[in-house]
Amino acid sequence: MAHHAYGVGSGGIAGVGSRQTILAYYSMRGVEFDQRVAAASAAGFDGIGFGVGEYLQLRANGTSDDDFKQVLSQHNIRILELEALRLVDDKSALDFEHVARTFGAERIQVIAPFGANKDIDLDVAAQWLGALAERTADADVHYALEFLPPTKIPDIATAQNFVRRSGHPNVGLCVDTWHVFRGAGVSSLADLDYSLVKNIQVDDGTMTPSMDDYIQDCIHNRELLGAGEFDLQQFFECTPPNSPISVEIIDDDLDLIPAFERAQLQASSLQRLMARCYRQD
């Protein structure tokens, strides 16, 4: 199968051109599905990220696939990315495949296990993901591997090697600003193979961690784009100019803001950032 042709965005957020924009799943914690979709639409995003765990819970509580589709159609929003499949989790892979096929999701976010289960065989895992990509190739489902410093895939170099070992063009990278700036640093982007990038996830933060635990810090203390210390302009200069942009600002303070305002704040921060990155001299 040919390399993925990026979905074209609607241009609902000024300054992004034809780039697809996604309101990431964890940016809208605690928000009901219909509110999440309506807020993303009102803020100008092309689609949302969604958690397969939440999908399964809602299905168990009586929400049908047609119910989900009706909400998405009403607001002209798509489920574009799914969070987050852990490597070599066969049971979850079947659930992710079902959701991706049912809603036409373009990407499944993939992470290596962390914590007590982090010690996986990367060769086995790469073959596993390649086989999964082949199984879902007929639905044009792509897999965006996200490198995380506390895992066995901590950086771009390891992630790119893993992706190549998978042997399938539908397996690629998600490049997240948090894991770049809190990991190997922006200089690591010099070796980024653009042809492997499926999407980027953008957020801001302090260069010095607020919490000792990496995972806890990254799910509590991210900041709106432009409000932190990351050199986001350099990040954009070193990543593909047409890759989908997923705004993923996971922050306890943001969680307290009502859904529509929360989505708009994130869209506005992206708009301001893009204006700075691509301003005309």
| Domain contains 254 | yes
Instruction: Give a yes or no: residue 164 inside a domain.
Output: yes
* Per-position DSSP letters for the chain, written without gaps between them: -PPPPPPPP---STT-TT--EEE-GGGGTT--HHHHHHHHHHHT-SEEEEEHHHHHHHHHTT--HHHHHHHHHHTT-EEEEEEEEETT-HHHHHHHHHHHHHHT--EEEEE---GGG----HHHHHHHHHHHHHHTGGGT-EEEEE--TTSS--SHHHHHHHHHHHT-TTEEEEEEHHHHHTTT-GGGGGG--GGGEEEEEE-B--SS-SSSSHHHHHTTB-B-TTSSS--HHHHHHTS-TTS-EEE---BHHHHTS-HHHHHHHHHHHHHHHHHHHT---
pTM of this prediction? Answer: 0.95
Strand 107-111 to strand 171-176: parallel, antiparallel, or no bridges (unpaired)?
Answer: unpaired
Residue 9 placed within a domain: no
Residue 141 is assigned to a structural domain of this protein: yes
Which pLDDT value is given to residue 277?
A: 86
In a domain, 136, yes or no: yes
Give a yes or no: residue 4 inside a domain. Answer: no
pLDDT level of residue 184 (50, 70, 90 thresholds): very high
Largest CA distance in the chain: 55
**Overall domain count for the chain:** 1
User: What mean pLDDT is predicted for residues 86-104?
Assistant: 97
| pLDDT tens string 107-148 | 999 999 988 778 899 999 999 999 999 999 999 999 999 999
* Average pLDDT score, the chain: 94
Question: Which tokens go with 78?
Answer: 């798509």
What is the token pair recorded at 108?
């499944």
* Average pLDDT of the residues in 33-56: 98
Q: Is residue 279 part of a domain?
A: no
Tokens 């495949």 belong to: 97
Long-range contacts of 131-138 (CB under 8 A, 24+ apart): 132/93, 132/97, 133/166, 133/168, 133/170, 133/171, 134/168, 135/97, 136/97, 136/100, 136/101, 136/170, 137/1, 137/168, 137/170
- pLDDT tens per residue across span 191-236: 999 999 999 999 999 999 999 999 999 999 999 999 999 999 999 9
Domain of residue 126, CATH code: 3.20.20.150
Instruction: Tell me, yes or no, whether 7 lies in a domain.
Output: no
More confident residue, 95 or 12: 95
Share of the chain above pLDDT 70, in %: 95
For position 223, what pLDDT does the model report? 98
Taking only the tens place, the pLDDT of each residue in 9-30 is 666 898 898 999 999 999 999 9
Q: Which domain holds residue 95?
A: 21-274
Task: List, for residues 242-275, the tens digit of each pLDDT value.
Answer: 999 999 999 999 999 999 999 999 999 999 999 9
